[in-house]
Structure 1
Amino acid sequence: MGDIVKAKSIEYAALRNFIMVALKRLVREVGLDFAAKIRFTPLYLFYDLLSSYRSLVGYLDPINICSLTNIERIRNVFLMKLLNYLHYLEKQEVLCSTSVPGFFKICENFLRKMRIAPLLIAERLVQEVLIPYMEYSLKIRNIIPLAILIPEARKLLSRIAAPSPYSELYISANDEILPFHRGFEKISYIKSLGSTINYTFLGEMTVRGKKVAVVVKKYRDWKSLKWLPIGLWTAGTVDFTLSAGERLLREVNAIMLLRKSGFRVPMIYGINWHEKYIIREYVEGDDLVKKLHSKDLEKICFLMGCFLAKVHRLGLSLGDTRPSNFVFDKYRTIIPIDLEQASSKIPPSWDLAEYLAFTIVHLKFKFDESFASSLSLAKGYLKNGGSLSNICGITRRSYIRVLAPISPIYPFIAKKLYRELGCSQ
């Protein structure tokens, strides 16, 4: 009897430790702030176990091949063990159930411990240097047996498939659980919306029995021509991120926060974390740049000031407030359509400064019109509870350094607005 209890204790400890390692890996991949929104099925843990083992030993490892060829039986054993110990795992807050049957989330206490326990240097060396080196070495090791067994391997590999852990990840958004691995297969391509810089296209898909227009946006990594120069130029000034994954998470976070706060933002229909793209609602309306060339120029800038003040009161800055990143719909509502740089770490004054600088560019550097639009922006911002210090902050030297090459008269407009509002008093 004692041996059985001891064996079960060892079995539970092994399962618990594996789950904790898998969840830590997931949290570090998506970030602490976003991890609380992630939902997953028990199969995520099983597929992650197979994937992490395979990354170390290679695809042709005998145990890996045996696992994949008998995956249904092994999966059932794993799920049975998980079910047997689920009560203890939940009691110790290793796993937390959700209101949706069959889905789990990462426990708040687990996230809190990770937040206050930064990754040690030794752990970072193991994760970022040693493990990738081992994975590379072991993959090289498998080249020789692969070359010898190519005919046999091809026959075998054609009969087995390695499931991806990402197929069992979901996200809590729009008051529902959305797949974190959505594909293009149910989307009809209509036309490209982006240039060579971004892979973005307009498509059509069926949502709840109704056909809707959608935008599919793929986030390119640090090599992107769009963000590399800006990231380097604004280094130390603005918290721009070049990472595709981080930009995706920022956009999804911002959309969810703004929607929850009553803003009109595009609906998210799907996310593919592994391939780094989202599927969102296509928003009809006029590009804000077009409205800047109309008789409503000052009114549009006033409304933009109102909009930014409301956003900043949430503790969020949009990061990239060029007029081309907003749509003005038929209800005269300003809708942001590019939020991939939104962050609570960016100063609110940057949003005002960038919008003003690019508005000046679109107005072809006409001083009087540019100043009138900046004054309207400030009035709308202050009327809706925006801080005067945020407007006064547009004259920061770091902003001037970044924005003056783009908009040469920006420093003069900003300083005149600074004096007009009495910022120096």
Structure 2
Amino acid sequence: MKALVGNGLVPASDIDKLIAQVEVIELEGKKYVIKKFAKEVGVVKWIPPTVFFRVNYPFTLVPKERFDREVRFFEQEWTCFRTPKLYEKDPKNLIIVREFIDGKPATYSHHSKKLGKFFAILHNHDWSLGDTKPTNFLVTEDGILYIIDAEQAIPTDKDIHKAWDLMLSSFFIAYRFLSNPDRYLEVLSEFINSYLHEGGKLEVIEELTTAKFSGLAILMPLPHVLIMSDVLEDVLRK
């Protein structure tokens, strides 16, 4: 395969014209995704979580570390979900060229059980994703789940890191159903119960009830915090 970066189809001098941090390009009838980790936008977006939630999860601002994390995650041999194929890695310029995935972003409203299963499998392999926003997941027409952003993913056996994945997911669900607490209850229950049904550990759920996660919880509307507390208490009583 010809190089897409450097002296190949996309000259190095043209890279900045083609991409921000992530850009989809089409060459010879095929789509590719080029991601440049050193772009400022990729650093700035991680300042708040790195500053405020470092106690919960080891976020990194460093472009090389984010590059290494994503490459390592994508190169694992996952079976119950997929990651894009890596066509090229440029560790000097911190650029990857990867497969373009034709799919739609997953939503917690429609894929809560699928995402709960994903996190159970991921955590049982002693990995955490770190960044669980819905746009990091794509679902293809045949229902295959792809993880397309893993620049904060780490191998870890610590329950607090795994609990972070669930807490942040609960946060995104809360703001998706900001004006509909009843629907939040339904979706969050599906998500947490799917996680446990697929082998997720109660110890991770218990970690969510500790004071370590109050920093993110206070950013959620009070009715949603109370609902989350009830859901967690319910599953821990079973």
User: What's the TM-score, normalizing by structure 2?
Assistant: 0.85
The match for 2:133 among 322, 337, 359 is 322
SS of corresponding position for 2:44: coil
Cα distance between partner residues in 2 of 1:336 and 1:403: 25
| C-alpha displacement of 1:393 | 2.2
| Counterpart selection for 1:333 from 144, 160, 182 | 144
Q: Deviations over 1:341-363 (max 9, x none)?
A: 00124621111111111121122
The answer to whether the aligner puts 1:306 opposite 2:129 as a matched pair is: no
Match of 2:9 in 1: 186
Deviations 1:317-355 (A, max 9, x none): 111011121112111122111100001246211111111
Task: Point out where structure 1 has 5 or more consecutive residues left out of the alignment.
Answer: 1-177
Alpha-carbon contact 1:183-1:272 (below 8 Å) kept = no
Partner of 2:202: 388
Letter in structure 1 aligned against 2:85: M
Match of 2:190 in 1: 376
Amino acid paired to 2:137: F
1:288 aligns with 2:111: no
Q: Paired residues, what number?
A: 229
Name the stretch that deviates more: 235-244 or 356-365. 356-365
Deviation of residue 389 (structure 1)? 1.8
268 and 307 in structure 1: CA distance in 2 versus 1, 3 angstrom threshold: same
Contact 1:222 1:243 (C-alpha < 8 Å) held by counterparts: no
Name 1:101's counterpart in structure 2.
none
2:68 to 242, 249, 253: 249
1:235 aligns with 2:54: yes
Q: Quick one: distance in 1 between partners of 2:182 and 2:125?
A: 33
Report what 1:203 is aligned to: 25
RMSD: 2.9
Distance 1:285 1:260, change over 3 A: closer
User: In terms of Rg, which structure is larger?
Assistant: 1
Shift of 1:184: 7.4
Q: Note if 1:265 corresponds to 2:83.
A: yes
Q: Which has the higher helix share?
A: 1
Matched with 1:355 is 169
Q: Which has the higher contact order (CA 8 A, sep 6+)?
A: 2
The alpha carbon displacement at 1:221 in A equals 6.8
TM-score by length of 1: 0.49
Is the 8 Å Cα contact of residues 87 and 97 (structure 2) preserved in structure 1? Answer: yes
Runs of 5+ unmatched residues, structure 2: none
The answer to whether the 8 A contact 1:215-1:282 is kept is yes
Q: Partner of 2:87: helix, strand, or coil?
A: strand
> 1:342 — aligned with what?
153
Separation of aligned partners in 2, 1:266 and 1:352: 23
Distance in 2, matches of 1:184 and 1:237, equals 42
Which of 217, 222, 228 matches 2:35? 217
Amino acid at match of 1:353: M
Q: Deviations over 1:172-216 (max 9, x none)?
A: xxxxxx98x943741499xx998xxx521111245xxxx421111
Name segments (4+ residues, structure 1) moved above 4 Å: none
2 CA distance for matches of 1:238 and 1:321?
Answer: 12
Maintained 8 Å contact 2:81/2:145:
no
Letter in 1 for 2:190: S
| Distance in structure 2 (CA, Å) of the matches to 1:422 and 1:260 | 29
Shift of 1:394: 2.2
Residue 146 of structure 2 aligns to a residue whose secondary structure is strand
Q: Which residue of 2 aligns with 1:150?
A: none
In structure 1, what is the Cα distance between the partners aligned to 2:40 and 2:22?
17
Q: Which aligned pairs between 1:112-127 and structure 2 lie closer than 5 A?
A: none
- In the TM superposition, what are the counterparts of 1:55-70 in structure 2 within 5 Å? none
SS, match of residue 415 in structure 1 = helix
The alpha carbon displacement at 1:414 in A equals 2.4
- Measure the CA separation in 1 of the matches of 2:7 and 2:136: 24
